[in-house]
Structure formats: C-alpha cells, structure tokens
Amino acid sequence: MNIISRKPRFVSGLRLKENKKSEHSPISVIPPPPRVIIPMQMHAGAECSLLVQRGDKVKTGQLIAQSDAFVSAKIHSTITGTVKSILKTVSPATSTIISAVEITSKIAEQQQDGRLDSDTANAGLEEEKVFDDSGHIKSAEEFRIFLKKVESEQGAGLIQKIKDAGIVGLGGAAFPTHVKLSVPEGKKIDTVILNGCECEPYITADHRMMLEYSMEILAGAYVIFKILGPQKVIIAIENNKEDAIKLIADKIFELGLENIFSISALPSRYPMGAEKTLIKNILKRKVPVGGLPLNVGVVVQNVSTAKAIFDAVAYDKPLIERAITITGDIIKPVNLMVRIGTLVGDLKNYFGVLKEKPYDFIFGGPMTGFSVANMNFPIVKGTGCVLVKEGMDLTEKNCIRCSRCVSVCPMNLMPLMYGTYAKNNMWEQCRQYYIESCIECGSCAYVCPSAIPLVGYIKTGKAVLARKK
C-alpha cells in the first residue's frame, strides 16, 4: 500500500533559494537561560492576566497567567526562579502594548553578567527536572501503550489537557490549539492536515522535529485524530525533505497506522505551508474569504504542535520550550530547543562572529518574520527561527505596473494597488481591492522589481481599516 501521494511539479508559487543551512544540525537542548521575559500574549486572542506578583517564587511549568476568554492560551513559567519585575512590552501577536513578566533564576543572581558557565548551568538543569520528559517514544510497544491511554480518554478530557498546557499553533500564527480542536456543533471535520511543509527558506526546526521526534508527532497526531474523528490524517511535507518523508512513512507502517495516516509530498514552492494554499493544493478545496479551514471540513496543525500535544497528554507537560533555528549570515547555523521567554541577546553565543555593522535580527523566516528592535526581545511560542541577516538597504522606486505581484499572489489579489493607495492614505480603496484577504506571505514584495515594501503598506492598511471599524 502506497501512502505517499506526490503532487505534480507545476503548482503555482515561488521557487526561493532554500538556504536550509542547518538541516543536518540536530536539535540540541540548551540549558535554561538565567532570565526570561514572558509576554502575557503570545497567541492570537485575549491577553492573559497575571496570577503571580513581584517577588514570588515560581517553578518551571507553574501556571502564571490565564484568561477567561475562550480564544486565549494559558501561560506557564519556563524556568525556576523569582518574579523580578512586571513590565510593559509590545505584543508579538498584535503589536499592542501588553504586560510581560521577567523571571530570573539562581544562576542569574550568581552571575550578573548574564553569561553561563557550564557548572552552574548543569546545577540549574538538575533543578529544572520537574517533568518526566524522557520525551521519546522508544519503541512501537510504548507507542501502543500511549494509544491505549488516549483511547481510554474522552475527547473533552484531551482538549482540557491541551488547554491546560497552553498549547498554541507553533507554525507561527500561534492560534490556541484547544480552540482549533473545539469544533462547533454541526461542523464535521473529514480531514486533518499535519503541516510539515516549512516552505520558508532557512528554517529547519520542523524538519528536524520530524526526523528526531517522528513517533511523538504521530502520537500527537493520533490525539488530534481521536478528538476530531476525521476520516484521514494527511501529513504534508515538501519534497525537499525526502528523509523526513521516508522516515515518517516507515514509522507509519511500523506502527500499523496506514489506514489513518498518509503523506502528501508537495513540490517545494512558497507559500506552500500557508493554510489556505496547503488545503487548496492537497484537497482542491478553497477556504472562503474570512472563513476558517473548518468551513471546508479541515483542520491544519503544525508538526511541532503535534509533538507538544503528545507531551501534554503523556506527561501533562505545558508548553515551556520549543525548537528554533538560529541561522542566516552566521558561521554555524543550529537548531536549538529553547525555553519560551529566552531573550535573543542571551542566545548571542550561537550567532558566532558578526561583522561590525548593523544586522537584521529577524524573528521568523525571511519572508514573513519581523525585525526585532533590540536584543531584549524574547522568544515566544510562535517563534520558529531567529534569522541574522545583513540589512538589504533597498531603495523604493516607482511602480512600473509590471504585474509580477499580481501573477505571484496566492490569494489572487492586485498588490500593486495597495502600494499606490497606501501612499495617498486611500484606505477605503484598499478594501475595494480586498486587502483583508491578504495573508502577508511577502511574495509580492519579493518579486517587485521596484523594491516596493508592499507588505509594510498592507500591514499599515489593515491596521488602519481595523481601527476604523
């Protein structure tokens, strides 16, 4: 039985230079940082309110913030230490001002300069061993034991566990996972897509996750399967990751899950991994404007999210760490398992030698990631990559209406119009050209021969229109 279906080469999308420099670097778990800053909103949805005060002692995995709103995700402390201060920061999700909590560990108190030496770090690591996250499923036997455990649970109970673990979509949008899995009455999900496309250049974290935690990802996917009861689960992987395709296919056979799971090997095109284009390319279904994948009977989850779901169900482990790729114009790009809230400045040992000029520190991939304003920016739940690049310094020229943006737009829009209208503050006209349908994939600005920062104009336009409503 062949479970790998291959899609034709001639699908639409950009061919980008992949630059996946770190794809052979295993995910190394690094010691917990001496301090973390945890924003109260690392997800799409309502800001959480703090449950701890300044001076409180907190343990790794302790619930420190939550919200009564349905669309929100719980937040846990990611290191053991003391709440040092409560500060204001800019939300990585909505760009509004929100609270954040700064937690420092013993190591930080001992070592004021912020650099870790290995002895204290190891001592700290021992203190952190709160969870039985031996983490790995070592055999098919262990997998079957886990499946039995899942089978004995109710869907609602599983969703509660995911909710308590504060899991959000780790692909970048950071939508609370328990909300995505709570399908309203009357809607039937027939397909679950596990997204392992990772279509952005440079990023390799999901690729490494699939190679190193394939069993756990399948176990997490099985939990989703149990909750939603779809007919099939399709694992979508771009064909530039043949090793992952082969490994996961082998595991599916080994575990005897070929009736549920199948793999869709997709051509490597940008933005293949975007929810809407992914569903279109695999199932030929179009998510309606303003709608969700569940409108067409589909739920899409990232592969790393599936691993987090496994951790939550198997060990009641909250989402306190995630795999990120540190890459770009640096000597040794790596994949790391880091605690949420780690400051990018505290990861500087991994950046290696940089030339003396301003670098662009990008959270996320090169196409959709944002530049951080300073080195005190924390890794949040949705951060999959820290990309260090030399600044491009492009000069914006006049639009020559070449229509390259129109032909690459996966949402079938006319991006050139947003540039023209945004410069003249004509926001209503932007709406007439369906600016709200834009998924901000950046394809238009990438191909623009005049180097017009269209995504910047579109983001501004959307923000202005949202405020007007």
Partner 1 sequence: MDSKIDEAKLIDSGEVYIAHPPHIWSGFSTAKVMYIVLAVLALPFAAAVYFFGLRALYLIIISMATALITEFAIKKLRKKPFYMDGSALITGLLFALVLPPRIPFWMAIIGAAFSIAIAKEAFGGLGFNIFNPALAGRAFLAICFPTAMTSWYFPAKWFVPGYAAADALTSASPLSESYIYEGTRAALYKDLFFGNIAGSIGETSALAILIGGIILIALKLIDWKIPVIFIGTVALGSLIFGNDVLFQVLSGGLMIGAFFMATDYVTSPVTGAGRIIFAFGAGIITLLIRNFGSLPEGVAFSILIMNAFTPLIDKYVRPKPFGFVRTIVKKDGKRK
Determine, following the binding rule CB under 8 A, whether residue 392 of this chain makes contact with partner 1. Answer: yes
Residue with Cβ nearer partner 1 (250 or 396): 396
Task: List the beta bridge partners of residue 90.
Answer: 97
Determine, following the binding rule CB under 8 A, whether residue 155 of this chain makes contact with partner 1. Answer: no
Determine, following the binding rule CB under 8 A, whether residue 390 of this chain makes contact with partner 1. Answer: yes
Please state, in angstroms and as integers, the Cα–Cα distance from residue 168 to each residue in 180, 205, 228, 309, following that order.
Answer: 9, 16, 17, 10
* Shortest distance (Å) from residue 242 CB to partner 1: 24
Q: What is the pattern of x (binds partner 1, CB under 8 A) and - over residues 253-282?
A: -----------------------x---x--
Judged by CB under 8 A, which of 87, 145, 289, 463 binds partner 1? 289
Binding segment for partner 1 among 5-13, 29-37, 127-135, 352-360 (CB under 8 A)?
352-360
Determine, following the binding rule CB under 8 A, whether residue 46 of this chain makes contact with partner 1. Answer: no
Binding segment for partner 1 among 104-112, 140-148, 187-195, 287-295 (CB under 8 A)?
287-295
Binding segment for partner 1 among 79-87, 169-177, 191-199, 345-353 (CB under 8 A)?
345-353
Residue with Cβ nearer partner 1 (105 or 368): 368
Determine, following the binding rule CB under 8 A, whether residue 297 of this chain makes contact with partner 1. Answer: no
Determine, following the binding rule CB under 8 A, whether residue 130 of this chain makes contact with partner 1. Answer: no
Determine, following the binding rule CB under 8 A, whether residue 95 of this chain makes contact with partner 1. Answer: no
Judged by CB under 8 A, which of 239, 453, 464, 465 binds partner 1? 453
Judged by CB under 8 A, which of 123, 440, 464, 465 binds partner 1? 440
Judged by CB under 8 A, which of 51, 406, 426, 464 binds partner 1? 406
Judged by CB under 8 A, which of 152, 412, 424, 469 binds partner 1? 412
Determine, following the binding rule CB under 8 A, whether residue 201 of this chain makes contact with partner 1. Answer: yes
Binding segment for partner 1 among 30-38, 165-173, 238-246, 441-449 (CB under 8 A)?
441-449
Residue with Cβ nearer partner 1 (255 or 435): 435
* Shortest distance (Å) from residue 174 CB to partner 1: 16
Applying CB under 8 A, the residues found at the interface with partner 1 are 16-17, 201, 276, 280, 286-289, 291, 345, 348, 351-356, 358-362, 364, 366-375, 387, 389-392, 394, 397-403, 406, 410-414, 416-417, 433-434, 437, 440, 442, 445-447, 449-451, 453, 455-456, 459
